[in-house]
Amino acid sequence: MTRADRVVTGTLDESPIGHQQSRVEGVVRVQLPSGLYEVEVDGRHRITAHIGGGLERNFVRVLVGDRVVVELAPRDLNRGRIVRKA
């Protein structure tokens, strides 16, 4: 199983600091104030996410309708970070 397969299926990845973080793919539905986005995952769950540092540093634009990969927060599965565009 390649890394891309694990991202699409939403399996847990081990982060460098030891916390397990789940990566899921979704579609940006709403752009909220303060750099937040509402991402729809699996066609029914909505997650509030912000842009990760790598995308922000490189001035990658995220628009409504874009497919993105979201890394979910370990404590709150309704919050996350957009790590890349799919």
Beta partners for residue 49, in sequence order? 37, 80
Domain assignments of the chain as residue spans, ordered by start = 25-85
Give the model's pLDDT for residue 70: 95
Class at the top of the CATH hierarchy for domain 25-85: mainly beta
DSSP string, the chain: --HHHHHHHT-EEE-TTS-EEEEEEEEEEEEETTTEEEEEETTTEEEEEEE-HHHHHTT----TT-EEEEEE-SS-TTEEEEEEE-
- Say what the pTM is: 0.73
At which residue do the structure tokens 């579609």 appear?
27
Integer distance in angstroms from the first to the last C-alpha of the chain? 18
Model pLDDT for residues 26-79, shown as the tens digit of each residue: 999 999 999 999 999 988 899 999 999 888 888 889 999 999 999 998 899 899
